[in-house]
Amino acid sequence: KAGVTQTPRYLIKTRGQQVTLSCSPISGHRSVSWYQQTPGQGLQFLFEYFSETQRNKGNFPGRFSGRQFSNSRSEMNVSTLELGDSALYLCASSPGQGDGYTFGSGTRLTVV
Amino acid sequence: SQQGEEDPQALSIQEGENATMNCSYKTSINNLQWYRQNSGRGLVHLILIRSNEREKHSGRLRVTLDTSKKSSSLLITASRAADTASYFCATSRSYNTDKLIFGTGTRLQVFP
């Protein structure tokens, strides 16, 4: 079966711009969660969506937002980019019961 | 911080030796999972152990869980150069959320 697809793989943006990242989950999975990975803070939970509803949210500013569509695909958006937003952004899909996770390869965002 | 702790931070061994990594966490859990990450790429799920289990095996991997001490260990037996990667533990608090709290990770280097 196809894995979790994240697009784009790499992205370079300028401070102040906004960016949208996409995640296509495994077919049949209803849950998508997002994580930010940086050398300083490690892997931090951003938010999770289940059946188009945000079920949980991490401690990130309101510049970070997301949504999930009826086909379970998810997008996350970061507005007014800051240098500190440079990170590897990972999404994971699962059936939605706290296990069975599969992670995508990530989107590496560089803010200059 | 909610983040779990792992030790050691880095581990260097020869091929054929065993590698043990430890993880401590802070809250009650539904399950604990171990992941591998190669060179900043996506996370690969290795093994999941539920809160009512004490030990689990998968191939060359052995995981133990001590909920009274809020700790887990991952043992990789007969290591290979291909096991070189970063290893993370992650905890899930409930079956109805996909929020994972990750540990700080152990960087394993296996020399041929």
Task: Give the nearest chain A residue to B100 (CA atoms).
Answer: A45
Nearest chain A Cα distance for residue B109, angstroms? 18
The full DSSP string for B6-54 is EE-SEEEEETTS-EEEEEE-SS--SEEEEEEESTT--EEEEEEEETT-S
The predicted-structure confidence for A53-83, as pLDDT tens digits, reads as follows 999 999 999 999 999 999 999 999 999 999 9
Q: Does residue A39 have a cis bond before it (omega within 30 degrees)?
A: no
Bridge partner residues of B12 (DSSP): B109
What does the alpha-carbon distance between residue B9 and residue A64 come to, in Å, rounded to a whole number? Answer: 30
Assess A99–B contact: CB distance below 8 Å, yes or no. Answer: yes
**Quick one: which of A36, A26, A29, A52 has its CA closest to A84?**
A36
The predicted-structure confidence for B53-101, as pLDDT tens digits, reads as follows 999 999 999 999 999 999 999 999 999 999 999 999 999 987 777 789 9
Q: What is the pLDDT of residue A37?
A: 97
Assess A103–B contact: CB distance below 8 Å, yes or no. Answer: yes
What does the alpha-carbon distance between residue B71 and residue B4 come to, in Å, rounded to a whole number? Answer: 9
What does the alpha-carbon distance between residue B79 and residue B101 come to, in Å, rounded to a whole number? Answer: 27
| pLDDT class of B2 with cuts at 50, 70, 90 | low
Q: List Cα–Cα distances, B11 to B16, B23, B44, B46, B112, in angstroms.
A: 14, 14, 19, 18, 14
Nearest chain A Cα distance for residue B35, angstroms? 10
Nearest chain A Cα distance for residue B10, angstroms? 14
Q: Answer whether residue A7 shows pLDDT above 60.
A: yes
Residues B21, A88 contacting (CB under 8 angstroms):
no
Nearest to A105 among B30, B35, B41 (CB): B41
- Residue A59, classified by CB atoms within 10 Å of its CB into exposed (0-12), middle (13-18) or buried (19+), is exposed
High-pLDDT (> 90) share of chain A, %: 88
Q: What is the pLDDT of residue A1?
A: 60
What does the alpha-carbon distance between residue A88 and residue A34 come to, in Å, rounded to a whole number? Answer: 11
Assess A33–B contact: CB distance below 8 Å, yes or no. Answer: yes
| Yes or no, beta carbons of B97 and A98 under 8 Å apart | yes
> For testing the chain A interface, which of B45, B47, B52, B98 should be mutated: the one with the most A CBs within 10 Å?
B98
Cα atoms found within 13 Å of the Cα of residue B51, Cβ hemisphere only: 16
**Quick one: which of B106, B92, B109, B108 has its CA closest to B27?**
B92
The predicted-structure confidence for B15-45, as pLDDT tens digits, reads as follows 999 999 999 999 999 999 999 999 878 999 9
Nearest to B99 among A42, A48, A104 (CB): A48
